[in-house]
A = this chain, B = another copy of it.
Amino acid sequence: MADRRTAGSIRARVRAEITEEIKAVARRHLAADGANLSLRAVARDMGMVSSAVYRYFASRDDLLTALIIDAYDAMGEATEKADAAVTDRDDLLGRWLAVAHAVRRWALAQPYEYALIYGSPVPGYAAPQDTVGPSARPVLVMGRILADACRHGLAEPDPLHAPPLPRALRAEVTAIADLVADGVTESVMARGLIAWTEIFGAVSFEVFGRLDKTIDEREAWFDHQARVMAALIGLTTERGRGGDKTQS
């Protein structure tokens, strides 16, 4: 049935365009009024009656899911482009900083879409399987940086001499490494995950207003955090010059 709809018929084309327009209007509403997206308001904005929207999305949650998938893809693309834009592929610190700043910039540019995918999950909503693919894209970018760092012999040994992981945990971390950063030891993978967690904690703090009367120099503060996390992983330029060619 989906095949029929995506066929080349005129009707299918119009349908795809309207579907896309609904999402665009919904995104506008999201950016304006915050969450609590109203399907009726979206329909009104399009000159439609609310029930007509249900021809395109079975429910409000379905529309939300579509927006979530788009948001994941947009952030994934932002991080991938940021990584690809670093010409010196051996400047792993530069790549890490570029990706981290790309995450932050994307989140600040569309805070409500960021909240949709990294904030508190909406009450009854359970992420369907369609979201797992796009949601993995940013972490795959980090995985590639980690793998390249390991290939170049950076990232070892652990600069903080952290205690070894418990047995069961080692297996799980290794499994993650096999998925997103092939050939990376569990020590590096664990530090990468910690750095990843800190980056998203920092972005969430800033986007959700927890820095409000506390830190004004937000970009500098985020840059510092990203650099400390890079040091935790052991990232540096190949020649150890300590890159400062981050775009900001």
Binding site for B on A (CB under 8 A): 33-36, 115, 118-124, 127, 132, 159-163, 165-166, 168-169, 172-173, 176, 190-191, 194, 197-202, 204-205, 208-210, 213-217, 220-221, 224-225, 227-229, 231-232
Q: How far is the CA of A166 from the CA of B219 in the complex (A)?
A: 11
Of the residues B33, B198, B217, contact of A201 by C-beta under 8 Å: B198
CB atoms of B119 and A119 under 8 A apart: yes
Of the residues B172, B201, B217, B225, contact of A168 by C-beta under 8 Å: B217
Chain B residue numbers with a CB within 8 Å of A165 are 220, 224
Tell me the nearest residue of chain B to A215, going by C-beta: B172
Tell me the nearest residue of chain B to A207, going by C-beta: B120
CB atoms of B169 and A209 under 8 A apart: no
Q: How far is the CA of A166 from the CA of B223 in the complex (A)?
A: 10
Once A165-B224, A217-B168, A224-B165 are accepted as A-B contacts, the answer to whether A123 and B201 lie under 8 Å apart by CB is: no
**How often does this chain occur in the complex, in copies?**
2
Tell me the nearest residue of chain B to A111, going by C-beta: B120
A sample of 10 more A-B contacts (CB under 8 A), given A172-B217, A197-B205, is A34-B123, A35-B122, A161-B231, A162-B227, A168-B217, A168-B220, A169-B221, A190-B224, A197-B202, A198-B201
Once A35-B123, A168-B217, A216-B172 are accepted as A-B contacts, the answer to whether A162 and B228 lie under 8 Å apart by CB is: yes
CB atoms of A220 and B166 under 8 A apart: yes
Of the residues B121, B166, B197, B199, contact of A208 by C-beta under 8 Å: B121
CB atoms of B124 and A34 under 8 A apart: yes
Chain B residue numbers with a CB within 8 Å of A159 are 159-160
Q: How far is the CA of A197 from the CA of B232 in the complex (A)?
A: 15
CB atoms of A209 and B121 under 8 A apart: yes
